[in-house]
Amino acid sequence: MTHQTTPYRGYSSGQGGGGFGRMAGVLAIGAIAGLAAGQARKLAMQGPSIASGDWMDALKTEHRMVEKLFEALFATDDRQVVKRNALLGKIAYALSKHAVQEENVIYPALKESTPDGRARELVDDHAEIKTFIFELKRMEASDPRWIVRAAEFQQLVERHVREEEDVIFPAMFSSLSSEENAKLTTMMNWEGYKVA
């Protein structure tokens, strides 16, 4: 007696349903769509910085975005715990992306062009900012002390921003050639895009 096997319909090549081939096609399309959506999200997150022009204007744009998030945060009350935590998350994300751009591109260029220790001071500010974020995430957002600590956090960020925008960045920008500033802009936008 001869035993004849029948191919499983889901895996047959050309006969029956071709279910495996269709499933693989759907999965491939889904993967491509997911990658495309991820790239679109990255472009959307880095887009305002890219559209701002040079590296200094891009960083100023990001500073203004964080200021608006702080304004929204301080418009909350102790009962709006979910909103406070969501806004803190947005501030933390924006500042983290911003810090990567500055620490990986702008501060090394600053250290190279002006080796006076200011780049180190700015990195130290970033460490203190990260500590504030950590502390606020550990506190209950309904605690009245939370908003007081958030105000201290905002003051640190504002002082850091003023020092960069009013003193350090204009001097650095003017000391570099247009080609060097263009290169820094490209490098900085790439760093921001990678982490967006």
pLDDT at 12 (0 to 100): 46
pLDDT at 122 (0 to 100): 97
Long-range contacts (CB closer than 8 Å, 24 or more residues apart) made by 150-155 = 150/73, 150/74, 150/88, 151/74, 153/129, 154/70, 154/74
Query: Contact, 136 vs 146, CB < 8 A?
Result: yes
pLDDT at 29 (0 to 100): 75
Q: Both 41 and 56 in a single domain?
A: no
Q: What CATH number has the domain bearing residue 161?
A: 1.20.120.520
Q: Both 138 and 151 in a single domain?
A: yes
pLDDT at 47 (0 to 100): 57
Q: Both 40 and 68 in a single domain?
A: no
Q: Both 91 and 27 in a single domain?
A: no
Give pTM, 2 decimals. Answer: 0.76
pLDDT at 115 (0 to 100): 87
Which of 12, 33, 51 is the last residue in one of the domains? Answer: 51
Q: Both 126 and 164 in a single domain?
A: yes
State the residue range of the domain holding 72.
Answer: 52-195
pLDDT at 36 (0 to 100): 56
Q: Both 89 and 16 in a single domain?
A: no
**What burial class does residue 51 get, using C-beta atoms within 10 Å of its C-beta: 0-12 exposed, 13-18 middle, 19+ buried?**
exposed
Which portions of the chain are predicted below pLDDT 70?
1-21, 23-26, 28, 30-31, 33-52
**Token digits of residue 18:** 């071709």
Domain count, the chain: 2
pLDDT at 2 (0 to 100): 56
Q: Both 62 and 42 in a single domain?
A: no
